Amino acid sequence: MTPRLTALRADHLPDAVRQSAALGWPYREADWRFAFGIGRGFAAEADGRLVATAMWWPYGETHASVGMIIVDPAMQGRGLGRALMERLLHKARNRTVFLNSTREGLPLYTQLGFVARGQVFQHQAVLPPEAALAVTPAHVRPMQAADSESVRRLDRVATGMDRTALLDALLAAGTAMVVDRGAGVSAYASAREFGHGVVIGPVAASGANSAADARDLVTALAGRFRGRFLRIDVTDRSGLSPWLAQMGLPCVGHAVPMVRDVQPRTVDADADADADAATGAGLDAHPRLFALSNQSFG
In total, the chain counts a number of residues equal to 298
Convert the pLDDT of each residue in 109-166 to its tens digit: 999 999 999 999 999 999 888 877 888 899 999 999 999 999 999 999 999 999 999 9
pLDDT band at residue 263 under the 50/70/90 scheme: low
| DSSP-derived 3-state class of residue 45 | strand
The residue-averaged pLDDT of 267-285 equals: 44
Q: What is the DSSP letter of 135?
A: P
The pLDDT assigned to 192 comes to 97
Residue type (1 letter), 9: R
Mean pLDDT of 7-13: 97
273: pLDDT confidence band, cut at 50, 70 and 90? very low
pLDDT in tens, 212-232: 999 999 999 999 999 999 999
Q: Flag whether pLDDT at 276 surpasses 50.
A: no
Tell me which amino acid residue 57 is: W
Q: Are 116 and 256 a contacting pair, CB within 8 Å?
A: yes
Instruction: Report how far residue 115's alpha carbon sits from residue 256's, in angstroms, rounded to the nearest whole number.
Output: 10
pLDDT in tens, 59-74: 999 999 999 999 998 8
Reported as a single tens digit per residue, the pLDDT across 169-185 is 999 999 999 999 999 99
Q: Which residue has the higher pLDDT, 31 or 273?
A: 31
* pLDDT, mean of residues 17-30: 93
What pLDDT, on a 0 to 100 scale, did the predictor assign at position 286?
79
What is the pLDDT at residue 264?
59
pLDDT, tens only, 80-120: 999 999 999 999 999 999 999 999 899 999 999 999 999 99
In this model, does residue 18 exceed pLDDT 90?
yes
Q: Which domains occur in the chain, in start order?
A: 4-93 (3.40.630.30), 121-254+266-291 (3.40.630.90)
Is the pLDDT score of 294 beyond 80?
yes
Its pTM stands at 0.90
Q: What is the average per-residue pLDDT within 239-255? A: 96
Residue 290 pLDDT exceeds 60 = yes
269 has pLDDT over 90? no
